[in-house]
Structure 1
């Protein structure tokens, strides 16, 4: 693994995807813990207005907050730490580990940016790990537009339904996908199975901890802390 090449690729394209990054036994352990958790409760946590307008069917869980120490292993992986520092620079900060669970036959996630792109230097880094294979059969593939993290705010729906230049990634079990918080991306609809990914979010030095509180969709800006649409986009 050439860390400098990967970091340069990230800054150019807004993402890095690496297969077979994590141990399969560890992935199986995580997947079993995730399935056990959501077997008890797989109801949506967001209000219905958000679910409808964002076209997002994702249920979050924060396992480290619940005392699941096994999820510390990824966060302490030296390879991941070194790659993160090559991308973000020194004194970067971990935010949280968030499992994202989608029920079968759900919508996935519409086109969005994870934080406000108005300042190029203020962004978060998504470090997504995959504990299952995601492909055309399962649904839930990741669609993204390389380089879009440099293009400002994602176009509103009135500017046309289709965004050009997208590619589709089918993450495999054990893979790592790192996404710039300004990158335009979506999750395709899920088919006849559940979908799981786990996001170890982090930020460069000096970026506010609440950077991901406001998410940018093509039809709105939404603030999670008070469950409020702060701007309707036309």
Structure 2
């Protein structure tokens, strides 16, 4: 478990790249507890959460769960980690705000997630940060690796195109158990298809002071903007491409 962290250097790295990867950040035994609780919740073959239009157009087959909202206090432990809080403050500044804790489950044989931005990049000051916790190893053999385009949090809206296009400057990340991945909400990222039995991650989303809690309500894909509050496509981006 990491304890000797140069927080200033890590914050600088995050703002340069739009992401930050730290392996062995969390205790393996805690990760095992988390992973078992997640599997206990989802069971063998959970139903998809989103409607068919979203699943088809977003090429995204993940199932969310909000454990803290359901009173699962186990998931308070990562959020209360002083190192994580201090690192978040170095990145976002004082009086940053937590949004919610969300686990994401992918079944074997599912698509993962298409290229997207978690919030609209039209205003550079309005964004969230994903604080992703990995409770099991994600290997090339099992699939489900995270892809990110370094520096894309500064490029504005993601380009229109194929949902699974290969970018020449993309980076493939294969997180191990106990890894922390911080990801800017404007960064272009996706998740590869899942070949193993399952793929899970836990996301403690947060935002700077002054950003609305609805910041992640509209997600930007290469073919659309999608509003989760109403489960509707609010912009067909292919129509104006």
TM-score by length of 2: 0.95
CA displacement at 1:97 relative to structure 2: 0.3
Tell me which stretches of 4 or more aligned residues in structure 1 moved more than 2 Å.
160-164
Residue equivalent to 1:229: 233
Task: Name the CA distance, whole Å, in 2 between partners of 1:6 and 1:157.
Answer: 33
Pair 1:47 & 2:51 matched: yes
In the other structure, the counterpart of 1:98 is 102
Q: How does 1:1-234 map to 2 (within 5 A)?
A: 1-39=5-43, 42-157=46-161, 161-234=165-238
Distance 1:154 1:39, change over 3 A: same
Partner SS, residue 157 of structure 1: coil
SS of 1:81's equivalent in the other structure is: helix
Q: CA RMSD in A?
A: 1.2
**Structure 2: gaps of 5 or more residues:** none
Change (3 A) 1:65 1:41: farther
> How many Å apart are 1:213 and its aligned residue?
0.2
Alpha-carbon separation, structure 2, partners of 1:68 and 1:178:
23
Q: CA deviation at 1:161?
A: 4.1
Give unpaired runs (5+ residues) of structure 1. none
Deviates more, 1:37-46 or 1:143-152: 37-46
Alpha-carbon distance, 1:162 to partner: 3.8
Count of aligned residue pairs for this structure pair: 233
SS in structure 2 of the partner of residue 140 of structure 1 = coil
Tell me how far apart the structure 1 counterparts of residues 26 and 226 of structure 2 sit (CA, whole Å): 33
Q: Return the alpha-carbon distance in structure 1 between the equivalents of residues 72 and 45 of structure 2.
A: 17
